[in-house]
Amino acid sequence: MIEAIYIANERNAVQEQVERIELEQAKGIVGDRYFGRSDYPGQQITFIEREEIESYNQKYQQNIDLCDTRRNVITHGIRLNDFVGKTFQIGEVKFMGVELCEPCATLGGRLENEAIPKNDVIKAFVHKGGLRADVLSDGCIEVGMRINCN
């Protein structure tokens, strides 16, 4: 299920929590910083599991918010890693899971602090950083909707 949705209208801007987003096939989230860009596959939308954020907070005694990973969609109750190479649907919108959204130096730098250095942040999110996906059809998704694997 979708627990939260975040977008940022430009690079490095603070992400805004929204209840609903509009998606366009092959372009991504209308109003998001990556809309219409095609620098690499899976750039159109990102997902992460709330359970992985909570696990990180508990294991490393941190208190990051759901938006701190800079992913667009926060899910609950579904294993996103299983969607790599598969199509899935949320409401009327179809997606293709392209690859795991592995942690990068930017994420490590954003989450590092006195208790956990950047490299340890990166290691903590390896294979737990979410999913990159392409948008295969137009439509809207909103908080509370279920994710269905095709």
Average pLDDT of the chain?
Answer: 95
Q: What's the burial of 32, exposed, middle or buried (CB within 10 Å: 0-12/13-18/19+)?
A: buried
Q: How far apart are CA 77 and CA 134, in angstroms?
A: 21
Work out the percent of the chain whose per-residue pLDDT is above 90: 90
pTM given for the model: 0.95
Phi first, then psi, for residue 140 (nearest 5°) are: -125, 145
Mean pLDDT of 124-130: 96
Instruction: Please state, in angstroms and as integers, the Cα–Cα distance from residue 104 to each residue in 18, 125, 137, 138, following that order.
Output: 25, 9, 29, 29
Phi first, then psi, for residue 71 (nearest 5°) are: -85, 155
